[in-house]
Each structure stands twice: as structure tokens, then as C-alpha cells.
Structure 1
Amino acid sequence: MIGDGETPEVFGAPCGFTSLNLTVNIETSSVNVPDCTDPDLPSWLISDEVSKQVVVGGSGVIDTDALQDWRDWLLEGGEKNVRWVTSGSSANGGGYWQAPGILTQYSETGERGQRWNTEIQITLNGAPTWTSAA
């Protein structure tokens, strides 16, 4: 869901997406730790988390009225507040992640005789907050 930037902010789900995805990228730093008991053995890599980043995306046949909103965001840039909603009650894991996001990928593809398909990715800026469903 994308926020409209107004006060109070209203979030709307983009119409036309048939596929959605959420990816968490975790950057690590690794160090070789030798086996001091038997230095001839291979060392083991020990990794530490350095940073995290959430990317949400979707693809589908987007309504032509909504398509201009995506194109405007692409050209104007900047952040919009984004919610990733998980259906269900709080007891069933329902709720949403929210953070400002930047449109970082936009593509339109088409094949002869078919509707144009749009694919987007939004990179969340900073740590998202989780709000459980009511």
C-alpha cells in the first residue's frame, strides 16, 4: 500500500498487481577463524550482520489511470510511505510493516497482442515498524 502524503495519511493498494514480493537483504562481514588445535585443518568462516534492507515489489497489468502515478513517482523521485500488509488477525500473524520507501526499479514490458505488464521495486529507507492487526 502506498501513502498519499496527506494529513491524515491514507494508504491505498495499487490495483492490478498479480504478483507481490518482500525481500530482506542482510549484508555480512566474514572472517577466517583458524583451528588453533590443528592449524592444518581448514579454517571456518565466522559472519557478523552488518546491515539490513527491505525491498518490496510487484508486477501485473496496471490500470492506465494508476500507471501515471507510478510514472510520476519515477520522474519526480523522493520518498513515499509504504505499508506491506499481511492478512489475518494478530493471533494469525496479521498486521503490516511500514517505512518510507524509494521507487528503485520500474519497468514496462509487452508482447504483441497482450496487455503491458509493469514491474516495480521499492526499497524501504531505514528499519520498518511492525503494527499487529486489531
Structure 2
Amino acid sequence: MADPTTIRGGNIKVLLGNAATPIVYTAPCGFNQRSVTINKGLEEVNIPDCDNPDAVNWVGRDATSMSMSISGEGLLAAESVETWLDAVEDVESIPIKVEWHFPAKTITWTGKAHVESFEAGAQDGRRVSGNVSLQSDGKMTRVVTPVGG
């Protein structure tokens, strides 16, 4: 049996883009945990049995939408706090890039997202933590690039 090819947490990157042309993406400093969730919205419909109308219907499901949710947490770093505050205060969605770096390939999603929430938490005598939540705004385009490609 062959072992799976896995990666460490630092190989998942969430990068925020600026307003430059072309867009410059950077990963805000301080976060040490990231989570990326890809959601498919479904709509349910009862499918009748045409031969036996009294039979219990099976549920069919149709895909209606796709979205991406991103959350992150870590330390509140002075180097990135204003980047997060600017993004959460912006009425417009911001450019983002999500990268998964594997040894043989990189999977990248590019699109726009709203910073839905930004939270700072403090406990006496401890470092201040930061938590963030982003929600995609429109299509997130996925590209797979082989290493060296």
C-alpha cells in the first residue's frame, strides 16, 4: 500500500489582493490556522414512482449554487491589522487568492470575497488573538498547476 501525499498547514495560503494593476496578493501576517470550505447549494424535489403513485417518493437534489467560506485565526499582528480592518470596512468585495501547495501541484482559486467578520480577543497576560471569516462573492476560478509548470 502506498502512503498518501500530504501537506503541512503552512501550505494552505489565503492571500488578499490590492487595488493595483495587476493585482498584488499577499498573505496577512499572524494567522496560524486556516480553513477553506467549498459549499454546493442544493434544492430538493420529490420524485414520484410513476408505476406506484402511492409509494413513498425518493428525494432528488439539484445543484443550485457554489460558494467558498474561509476562516482563519491566530495572533493579531501589527503588520496586518489594518489590512483586515480595511477589508472588513469595505463595502465592496476584495480580490482574494487561495492556494494549496502539494509537492507535485498547486491548486489555486482566484476571485472576490467579503470579509464577513474580524474579531480580536484578549486575555490578561496573553497575546491578542485574531479571527476572520470571508465569504466568496461570485465565481472562484480554480486552476491546477504542476510543479515546474
- Identity value in percent: 23
Structure 2: distance between partners of 1:38 and 1:95:
48
Structure 1: distance between partners of 2:107 and 2:46:
40
Paired position in structure 1 for 2:6 = none
Q: Are 2:68 and 1:54 aligned?
A: yes
**Deviation >4 Å, runs of 4+:** none
Gaps of 5+ in 2: 1-14
Structure 2: distance between partners of 1:105 and 1:116:
16
Partner SS for 1:65: coil
1:8, distance to aligned residue in structure 2 (A): 2.5
TM-score (norm 2): 0.78
What does 1:77-116 align with in structure 2 at a 5 Å threshold?
77-88=91-102, 92-116=104-128
Paired position in structure 2 for 1:16 = 30
Paired position in structure 1 for 2:83 = 69
Per-residue Cα deviation, 1:74-113 (whole angstroms, up to 9, x for no partner): 2233222100011135xx3413110011111222222222
1:45, distance to aligned residue in structure 2 (A): 0.5
Q: Which amino acid aligns with 1:118?
A: G
Per-residue Cα deviation, 1:13-47 (whole angstroms, up to 9, x for no partner): 11111111111222111111233334443211011
Q: Are 2:32 and 1:32 aligned?
A: no
Structure 1: distance between partners of 2:125 and 2:60:
53
TM-score (norm 1): 0.86
Q: Which amino acid aligns with 1:50?
A: T
Kindly indicate whether the alpha-carbon contact (under 8 Å) linking 1:77 and 1:103 is maintained by their aligned counterparts in 2: no
Kindly indicate whether the alpha-carbon contact (under 8 Å) linking 1:102 and 1:122 is maintained by their aligned counterparts in 2: yes
